[in-house]
Structure 1
């Protein structure tokens, strides 16, 4: 499972904590998303989740399809799930308590695995406005 966009200008990693709402109601594991969206938990085992988009997110679940898995070979499907109209604006907050995305240049091989030495405050170094005048 790997994130991908048309040009891959930036690549990186993501981490998240499940929301208290989902964790309390459905559990705090990856399969909680399947329970939330109401997929058949006998047939499908959720392995991962994909969120694509900015204004209207498309959510897919990566699942093992137990009916189509044969002879010890897992059949994995990427299943698009519908988002209720009333949840569209808040779906990220419904699903996650915290979401952390770190991106870097796709051409960066030197710094992609490094950590920072200190955390600086933007206000301490701000010289010019980045807003359009």
Structure 2
């Protein structure tokens, strides 16, 4: 028995896609298609009424990144295009969400991995100035 795991890091939200999975049999140079199945999906909108869930592309999309931008670091790609592609809206949504947190009835709590984006750190640092309750999790953990 074999297992199969595949991800498509190029999809966009609120779109329909059809995927076809085909079993391939035979010897190298003489492969033939076997059974297949098609699956239709509709990707969700990240930002829905009350709650929003965003997933960036991060490291998992590295092959798709290389196909799209070549062997360039994100800061070497003009117009922040690579950063926007990697973010998939997460960066922008986070800034928007934290920026709306105002007044004593607002509170912001976050579980963030690799919390090192300057603009996001600044947004979290500013939130208490507008009356928002934020735990003190903006501490330097190293000198790097």
TM-score scaled to structure 2, two decimals?
A: 0.26
Determine which structure has more spread, i.e. the larger CA radius of gyration. 2
Q: Which structure has more helix as a fraction of its residues?
A: 2
TM-score scaled by length of structure 1: 0.27
Higher relative contact order (CA 8 A, sep 6+): 1
